[in-house]
Every structure is written in C-alpha cells, then in structure tokens.
Amino acid sequence: MNQYQTLLYYCYTTIENAEEFAADHLEFCKSIGLTGRIIVADEGLNGTVSGTAEACKTYMDTVLADLRFAATEFKIDDVSEPSFVKMHCRYKPEIVHSGLRDPNIIDPKKRTGVHLEPLEFLEMKDRDDVVILDVRSNYEHNLGRFKNAVTLDIDNFRDFPSKINELAQYKDKKILTYCTGGIKCEKASALLLHEGFTEVYQLHGGIIKYGKEAGGKDFEGKCYVFDNRVAVDVNTVNPVVVSTCRNCGKTTAKMINCANPECNEHFTQCDDCGWAMDGCCSEECKEHPRKRPYDGTGYYVKVPQQLNLNKIGRKEFISDLRPAALY
C-alpha cells in the first residue's frame, strides 16, 4: 500500500510581499515533512510537493484555508516513495516563464480560453473544426502527446510567443490547448486570444486530470513530470509508446538526463544504449571528464558545481539536474 502522495497544483492569484511569502512557505513545508519544488511570484503559486498522506492533507487544508488560494485544484497521485529529495520554494518573476509580463496582454486572472473538463475535451477533440495544440516543450511532447496534436519546436515555454505566426493557419478552427497540469495553457490561451484567435479552449487540469477522469484515451506515450518519477502512465484505454531511442531508434518510453552535466539534455534512450553509452547522448559526452556514473536510471540529484570565478570573486554555480518550470 502506498503511504506517500505527490501533489500537483497551481493558482493564479495576487500575492503581496511574495518574496517574504516564499521564505515563510518554505519553512512551513519543511515543518510538516514535505519535499518538492514550489515557485512563488506576485501572480501566484505553482508547485509539486510530496510526502506522507497526512502531511499532504495538512498542506492542502492549509493552502485552501487561505482565501487567496481557495480555488486551487490539487492533482493527487499515490506513490511508493517521496518524489523529491529536498524541499525548494523560490520567488520568481512568473510562476511559469513566458517572458510576457504585461497584464494588458496576459493576465490569466482576467481572460483565458474556455476551460474544458476532461470528458468535454474527449468529446470535442476529434471534430473536423478542431485543432489540438500541445503547448509544452520538445522533450515533453516527444515522450507523449495526444493523437493528431499539433506540436511546436520549442525548448522552453518562453519560446511559445515566437511561434504564434506558425499557428495563423488555424485561426478559423477551434483551438484546444493542453499541457501537463493546465498552468501553461492559462497563458498560452490568453496570448492566442490576444492575437486574434476567436475560439480558444484549454484542457482543465491538463493531461494528469485527463488520465484520471477520461482514462487518458488517445494520449499516446507517457507524460513527462517534473519530479523523480520523470514520466508517468496516463492512458489506460488504448496505450501506445511513441517515443524512440535517440541513439538506435528503437521504441522506448525511458527518458533520462545526459550523464555529462554540462550537457544534461533530456532525451529518450533504451536500456541497451543506456549501458553502451554510459547514459550519454553522444560519444563526445561519453568522453567528457565530468561525466557522472550511470546507474541505469539516468536521474541525478542536484549537486551544485563551481562554474567560474568572476571579477569580484563571487562563485557562480550550475546544477547537475536540468532546471525546468513546473507543469
């Protein structure tokens, strides 16, 4: 029986003194034994946390009791062990980085696409006048995506605005956006509306909620998640694997970080190539002097590494685990 849970959630809301809130929230999370990663900004809260069922209940009850976060919806997964090693809660300019901070253009609290519940999305997605749009990054949709979805060549969500012109051909269609948990769609759909798309919808709760409430039908592959699990199964109706090994092309759902920390690329690699390449994406990375030992998982706990010393003698660091925005 699983005794731990992992919670995925976000809430767009105004947070006064957000930096101070982030520091206090970190201490609260630690005090109840949670691990995870939370982003706090003036515009709201975005997190994935993990801990015992009791700790998770305490956390949810406390968050929901705060009127600012009363509308927060938690996606709950039962897990066999905590999905993180440490607890991080940091203040950032946005809870999902879009590079668009003008509230006259993007303000999910005021205007977004029409929210579709999973069963509504399921009923609507195959219509002739509909286009399904994946607003996630390459490494996410390469691992799994909805059947017939339009995907964009972006490494980070902040690249999404630059792709709007590529979507102009769909302006006469109903656009159904989706992402992991819903947070990126809030800004993506708002931007599409600002750019003149008239019928924009978004999958409420994202892929994770769709898997729980609609069986994940027609989501092909696995869903990338931003914790130690890396990928989770979504489709219990008609599952298939769509991702392939970067090195040999064989079908595989296994995603890893390159063992060379200076590359650290997310990519799919089968077990045979994993061992043959020592968990690296290329021969160049395999020969790199800082290559980390490969244990078959391709997951590496964050270990700060000194990068250089600038003119005033301050150390700068890089992380051994590729940073990524939640959801």
Catalytic center residues: 179
Q: Which residues contact 149 (CB under 8 A, 6 or more apart)?
A: 132, 133, 134, 141, 178
**Pairing mode, strands 35-41 and 87-91:** parallel
Residue 168 CB coordination number (10 Å): 10
Q: Is the dihedral of CA 11, 48, 100, 124 positive or negative?
A: negative
Angle, CA of 262, 327 and 1, to the nearest 5°: 100
Q: Are 36 and 29 in contact (CB under 8 A)?
A: yes
